[in-house]
Every structure is written in C-alpha cells, then in structure tokens.
Amino acid sequence: MPRLFGTDGVRGVANSELTPKMALDLGEASARVLGAAHEGDGRRRALVGRDTRVSGDFLGSALMAGMAAGGFDVIDVGVIPTPGLAYLSTVLNVDFAGIVSASHNPMIYNGIKFFGKGGFKLSDAKEDEIEAILGDDWDHPTGENVGRISHDVETPRKMYIDHIVESATAETETPLKGLRIVVDCANGATSPVAPVVLRRAGADVVVINASPDGYNINDHAGSMHPEGLQAMTVASKADMGVACDGDADRCLAVDAQGNIVNGDQIMGILARALKQQGRLNGSTLVVTVMSNLGLKLALRDMGIKTVQTAVGDRYVLEEMMKHNYTLGGEQSGHIINRQFATTGDGTLTALTLAAEVNRSGKTLSELAKDFPQLPQELINVRTPRKQEAETSAVIQKAVKDAEKKLGDTGRVLLRPSGTEPVVRVMTEAATDEQAKDVCQRLAGIVADALK
C-alpha cells in the first residue's frame, strides 16, 4: 500500500479520496499519538485552521470532531495561512495543530497536515505512527474527559498579523514607505492578511484576487498563475508585485516590468542581505534538488555556501535545525526564515523582500539580475503509477542518456510528486532549446512507460 502521508500531509480530491470519515479518523489518531507527550495535569489543547475551499467546512468540522473525541479541547481559528497556524501553535502553547488545506492545488482537492508542539511539521516517523492506528477501535474518553470545541477567528488572526509586521519593523515602523506593491492573494487564506501587513509596513498596496467564495481559490490566480499579477504590476506602475498560493506558505514576485522573480532569486536576494547584516548563520543557504544551478554559482561567488536537501520544506527545515542555519527554501517560493518562522511563510517573504528593495536602494529587477538562472524546463507527466518511475529500467536508462547528452553543462532531475499523481521531469542546460528538447524527449518516454 502506498504511504498515506505525502510530502506535505494527506492530499486528495475532497469528499472522494479525502472524506469526512478519513478526516474524523485522522483527528482521533493524531490526538492519540500527539497527545501522548502531553505534560502536566491540565486540559490537552489543539488548534484547527483551514484555507478558503468550500470543502474545508465539512473536513475541518470532521477533523475537530475526531480531536475532541480523542480528549482534546479544540480552538477553531477559521481561515488562516498555514504558517499562521504554525505560529499560533507556538504562542498559544497547544499540544498540536491541524490545517485543512491543499495549498497550491485546484479547489477540488483538499488536504490535512499537522504541526507538533512548537509549530514544527511532523517527522515521517510520527506520521507513520498516526497512519498505523488510523481507523482502529480503541477505548474512547467519556464524560469529563471528552474535549470541547470553541471558535475564535479575529483574535488569532490579529496576533499573527502583528507578529509578521513586527518581524520587519524593528528599525523603522514603515520599512516599505514609498513602494507601490501589487499583492495577489490567490483568493486564499492570506486574503485578509497580506494586504493589511503590507499597508501597515508603509506600502501603497494594490490588491487582486482577495475575494474568496469557496470555489475560486488558486483559479487563474496566485503564485501558480502569475499572469494577472504581471499585468496589474505593469498597468498600475507598481515597483513590484507579490503572489502567494492558496494557503500562503509560498511567495513569488514580479519586478516593475512584469518579469517573474522566482523562489531561487528571492532566496539569493535575502541570503545576501542577511550575510551583509551578519545574520546568515554559517554563511549558508539551504536549498533543494530543484534549485537552479545558477543560484548556487552566484552565491558561491558571494562567499555563500549552499546545502542541498530533498524536495519539501520540512526537509529544508530539518537541515536548518540540525546546523542552526538561518535561511532556506525552495524554488517554488517556500522560504523559511528561522528568525521568525518554523515553516514557509509567503506573507513574511513578501514583506522581507520588499523591505530589502527599499533598504538596498535598488529595484527588484536590479537585485534579481545578480542571480541569473540557467535555462530550465519542467514537465509534469500525469500518471497514477508515479512511484514506478524510480524503478523502471526504461526510464532510468533514458535519464542516464539525457545526463550523458548534457554533460557538465546541465543536469536532469526526475521525481514522483509528493502531493499530486504526477512525475516531475526537469532539465537544466546551457540553452533554452536544449533544455526543452531533452525534457520533452524524457517526458515522452516517462508517459509511454507509465501509461
């Protein structure tokens, strides 16, 4: 049986693959596993939040019911960015938290992931413990030992907004003064957050895609569909634009001309700034195997080392914690600043990037040019047999042939997605034409082998 938990929690089509029954079972199982470490004699407490998908209502209710049935008092904080829930779990000192979200995926999907005590994503081992007892019969608490559910949206949201603003306003209350910024909220969880944060930091903010209706999350909006952001940034004569995804754990940007500034470039800009300020521990940035070779070469010339991990911001965080590194993330825009967060935070990234534009006195375009990207091509091959990509002799031979063709001028990366039924085929090369040619050939072989 394939593992239930993927790279970032449990994902599936809402009410089909991810059902209320599964959410209920996950609530109970997580309460049993994560409540075992509860200290003291007080009531055990948990938080639950969600993004703006309509299915979040019934899945969140089922998840909370399972937690309460497992003996936890649950605080429902409503719609909140995923990193907001992680932060709240630390300051409210709960035993654990659960977020109902499918992040950047289309509305039809939803997901559930957990944060342990201290706001950190669970280890594979802890997720395996939850999965091992999922749906088992057990002796449920009764009487005064069952949990209750309460609801508080405004107070937790304000706490999170205050925290984000304070992270960038230590030296001045308005670090973004003079900047016009377009923010695309993806009709997702940061719709009531990011515009407030950027305005409080002094920016003139133009807001798009911040009217969630339960069905329009990520729909031609946000970091996965930046075309609207690019057009509005140019049309409004803004200095820059930023876009989060549905649960706001990632951020991409565009410069004043509408050119994309991806996660690699954002990480480069922030890493250099932190090094200049003496705050980049070990003069090291943690990246994943998806990061562009151009970023690593540029940082090397700046005296900044890179450490590489598997794809997934929790693996980035594990490496950061192991060696006390400050900054890390992914090309997709998941960027972790351990000074202020325990997970990727798109709103925080947008704020700190904009603050660096003002601090440096340079445009975002000028900053990004210091981190040129080698031509890169990515094709997602949709297949329910994605795991076989790593064992197929035909596919592995094709990968070796592609690597031989590219030589030292590029690289190939092929991996099953941890959140979607796709195999990601990525190539880097000296020219766009070569990157596309190799990637298309390899993607075709993968599609034929796993059809």
Using the structure block, give the residue that is written with the tokens 């608490």.
141
Q: Are 316 and 336 in contact (CB under 8 A)?
A: yes
Q: Which two tokens stand for residue 111?
A: 């997901």
Among 217, 193, 173, 166, which Cα is nearest to 83's? 193
Q: Which two tokens stand for residue 201?
A: 């930091």
What is the pairing mode between strands 180-184 and 109-115? Answer: unpaired
Q: Are 181 and 198 in contact (CB under 8 A)?
A: yes
Residue 112 vs residues 11, 24, 231: alpha-carbon distances, Å: 7, 11, 34
Q: Give the distance, in angstroms, between the CA of residue 432 and the centroid of all CA atoms in the same chain.
A: 28
Q: Which two tokens stand for residue 215?
A: 């069905």
Alpha-carbon radius of gyration of the chain? 22
Using the structure block, give the residue that is written with the tokens 């939040």.
49
Answer yes or no: 360 catalytic.
no
Among 28, 15, 194, which Cα is nearest to 111's? 15
- Cα separation, 284 vs 294, in Å, equals 16
Q: Are 79 and 189 in contact (CB under 8 A)?
A: yes
Helix axes 20-34, 124-132, angle to 10 degrees: 120
User: Which is catalytic among the residues 103, 191, 223, 291?
Assistant: 103
Residue 145 backbone dihedrals phi, psi, to 5 degrees: -90, -5
Output DSSP code: residue 18.
B
Hey, how many other C-beta atoms are within 10 angstroms of the C-beta on 235?
11
Question: Which residues, in sequence order, are CB contacts of 13 under 8 Å at separation 6+?
Answer: 108, 109
Count of all residues that appear for the chain in the document:
451
What residues act catalytically? Answer: 103
